[in-house]
Amino acid sequence: MVESGQPGPEDSTDERGLTPAAAATPASRVQVSGSISEINDYFHDQGWTDGLPIIPPTEDLVLAMLEACPDPSSQRLGRMPPLDGTVTVEKVAVNAVMAGCKPDYFPVVLAAVKAVLQPQFNVGSITTTTGGAAPVVIVSGTITQTLGINSGTAVFGSGHRANATIGRALRLTMRNLGGAVADTMEKSTHGWPGKYTMCFAENQERNPWEPLHVELGYRRDANTVTVVASRGIHTLVESSQETGQGVLETLVGSMTAMGISGYYFQARGASPVVVLGPEHA
């Protein structure tokens, strides 16, 4: 966390009783002076960025992020492999500020971090594999409209702050707390742009089936965050089939093509994630 001005006493609290320097592995305070460009250069030189510019995580911005979440700043969420750095709510907030998140996005970011820390996600293996897997955040529920998370045209493209920064906040957390850094613990042979950010919303209004979170056992009125590990996007074009069966045959044929990593790794328990537009759905 970047200090602006002189640091205060470490045992101070704000009007909400929130301790900026929590006793349980608080985020480190550093004082950096200079222009925004110079501060970005400093963060880059320390290895704290993904190569893109960041928002300096001043204490006031971090506290504003924490105000959007009821969890205590000092709450431990677990350890982030492969280097097993301690993850606290405050440290996630620091990375969310750096990523450019609005405070309203923070509950989604925090849910995504909690998801990748689940043992079944196996984040340590995903981070260090040569296969280049990256976390993909899928948000379901009415919160997607409230936050403006894109679920329509160019859903995997640029131009939507929520999509771009929520996924980036998760990746920065994995990088800065878990050591997912290229040329060290990050061993992707090629990688893919999802290593920067990947987040999108489910378009429930145009979904002819049950929403994803309902299929997973959650209430229809719930807001959920699902995180999957993906090795990339394989785009299909299907304009010749006139039946659902025909569309499925095209999908299955593409999934089983020689060299498709999703098919190869099904023997290890992996499953392909199929994202359909409303026309094909």
Among candidates 196, 140, 134, which has minimal Cα distance to 165? 196
Token pair of 24 as six digits: 């349980």
Clarify whether residues 127 and 229 are in a common domain.
yes
The pLDDT value given to residue 84: 95
Determine the residue type at 75.
Q
* Domain carrying residue 134: 2-233
Start-to-end C-alpha separation, the chain = 45
The b-or-e profile of 42-68 (16+ CB within 10 A means b, else e) is bbeeeebbbeebbbbbbbebbbebbeb
Clarify whether residues 135 and 42 are in a common domain.
yes
Among candidates 59, 56, 71, 58, which has minimal Cα distance to 20? 59
Clarify whether residues 183 and 247 are in a common domain.
no
Cα(131)–Cα(76) distance, integer angstroms: 30
Residue-wise DSSP of 64-121: HHHTT--S-TT-EEEEETTTTEEEEHHHHHHHHHHHT--GGGHHHHHHHHHHHTSGGG
Q: pLDDT by residue (tens digit) across 115-154?
A: 999 999 999 988 898 888 999 999 999 999 999 999 999 9
Clarify whether residues 90 and 163 are in a common domain.
yes
Clarify whether residues 253 and 130 are in a common domain.
no
Clarify whether residues 149 and 11 are in a common domain.
yes
The pLDDT value given to residue 234: 84
Distance of CA 234 to the CA centre of its chain: 20
Determine the residue type at 251.
L
Residues of the chain with pLDDT under 70: 2-25, 261-267, 281
| Whether 56 contacts 36, CB under 8 Å | yes
The pLDDT value given to residue 151: 96
Clarify whether residues 145 and 186 are in a common domain.
yes
- The phi-psi region of residue 96 (left if phi > 0; otherwise alpha if psi is between -120 and 50; otherwise beta) is alpha
Clarify whether residues 180 and 257 are in a common domain.
no
Clarify whether residues 148 and 253 are in a common domain.
no
Distance of CA 219 to the CA centre of its chain: 23
Clarify whether residues 209 and 250 are in a common domain.
no
| Whether 175 contacts 50, CB under 8 Å | yes
The pLDDT value given to residue 30: 87
The pLDDT value given to residue 266: 66
